[in-house]
Structure 1
Amino acid sequence: MNRIDRLTAILTHLQSKRTVRASELATRFGVSLRTIYRDVRSLEESGVPIIGEAGQGYSLVEGYRLPPIMFTKEEALSMLVAEKLVEKSLGEQSSKFFKEALIKIKAVLKSSEKDLLVEVQDTIQVLKSNPSQVMDKSSKAFHTVLEAISMKKVLLGSYVTFDPEKKTERELEPVGMFHSFEQWYLIAYCRLRNDYRTFRLDRFSKLEVSEISYSTAKHPTLKSYLDQVSAEQKLHQIILKVPDGAMKYLANSKYNYGFVSEERVGDITEITFMNSSIEGFVRWVISLSDLVVVKQPLILRNRLAELIEEIKTMQG
């Protein structure tokens, strides 16, 4: 961030709170306290009425207001994503207040940014949200996809499949993104496969926007595509807790039941599956019921208990 941008951001930050400490500004902008002191002095010399109180921090004179703030395209798109996530993460009342506040923020956007939000808003959906894991290493790919969608440009990417682990080069016409099962996914028309495919964003080792344009008119909307998939196949997220000694019994068979990922927690491995059939899954996992624990969902745990009782009755 150059100095002009930092001065503007400091001024915006000062207006957002009653008082702001110099150490808070230094941390936010990754600069030294001396730099902050110098920046604040420059703002004062330019006529901004800043009050500095020893031990308290800086504040703006009551009544001083900035003119409407201009947002960048990336910042405007980030607001749209935040709105989608908050809608799923907060209660109805809090979500309502957030949306009302966001409307006021959107009011100061330039016309081009407003048009962009209207055009892109239907290409992002949040089906299920875990606020602590909505973004991580997918972040860079996420913003690259948003840029491609907004510009109607083909994506060029190197995608690594899970099993077998294999890298392929893809040319993708993005339809949209959705968040579910703690991951962001891209729906796109794959020119390599000549069909629509779903890609996990964190599996792209490289992703960039090309100069090749594509028409959105020939593609379904994200909502209609997801509705179709949902009607064809309802997926359940299943998590099993497996001790070290039992992992060998799942090593090969797990791939037949929608294996997604595994995470080490102490001497236990939590394995995540996505499977459309609770009944089919429970009849596999019952053969491992003395070795594994079903963490979720509750419907699977209950069905497993019922099936064990049915077996007892039949054998008794």
Structure 2
Amino acid sequence: MPAINNDILDESPKKFDRVIAILTQLQSKRIVKAQDLADRFGVSLRTIYRDIKTLEASGVPVSSEAGVGYSIVEGYKLPPVMFTKDEAVSFVAAEKLMQHFTDKSIGTAFQAAMFKVKSVLRWAEKDWMDMLDERILVQPKNLLFNKDVPNALEILMHGIVNKKQVQILYHSFDADEPVNRSIEPIGLYHEKEYWYLVAYCHLRKDHRNFRADRIIKIARLESDFILQHKELSFYLQRPERNNYVTIKIQIESAYVKYIKQSRILYGFVSEKKVGDKTEMTFEYAEDPEYFIRWFIVLADKSDILEPESVRNRLSALVSEINNRLQQTAPIKSKS
């Protein structure tokens, strides 16, 4: 019996769904590689080639270039895409996150885009979205952007895409006053509940990380980048191992819950049970003083096992606190 060709059998409703999905993906990007399509849908390259031919036979002007990929001829107008109920529901979560995790300028632009999306939904999907909109609430812990800089992300993204310098007035954590800096923005990332910018700072002559909420003012510049920069991922690589301080602590297990959320901010690596206590290991790349002042909140239930230098600094800090308490006389209320 001859072998059955799976590509020939693929004349089913699922092929129709896949071809429509390929069309949607072609609309979403300028160039789409055949291999990327094959990986997404879990089919062979030959199947993708057949699907593309199906689109071409349907009158969709798909252009291709060997070794590059497929694209739809610019200017070709396609009918509105219809969304499933699950896809429509996902927009509600996206809209809520965009409202609170981007600046006002981008949030407004996304809201305008959502009106266009909602305009092509069926009434049932619109009703679902309205119902969920009233029942989903997002409340970020921190202020992600300075309220006086409502377009920070928009300007930074413009600089990244167009390779244009940006002027910022930045108040770093250790500085008494904000400082003007001309920067070449490379990329943005969200980590530890804040937005961060990786950029080349002309003032410091080095690549630096900037926290978005510490930008006091921002302005576009017409100056082009003067340097060639690597991809964002290069600058997010962990520092060399010898720049880290390995800190081990032991805490009564009943109190672990109080630091379970915050410990990730201080380089938490692992934990293990030791009797009724929990031993934790941290790899900390910052000044250990920050770690010590975080640790002291539960110092009555914990011990620093190593290194000795961190133990000594904790002991000195506790002595300073004790001396301060003894020198400060309690205020007695008048009877």
TM-score normalised to the size of structure 2?
A: 0.46
Higher relative contact order at CA 8 Å, sep ≥6: structure 1 or structure 2? 1
TM-score normalised to the size of structure 1?
A: 0.48
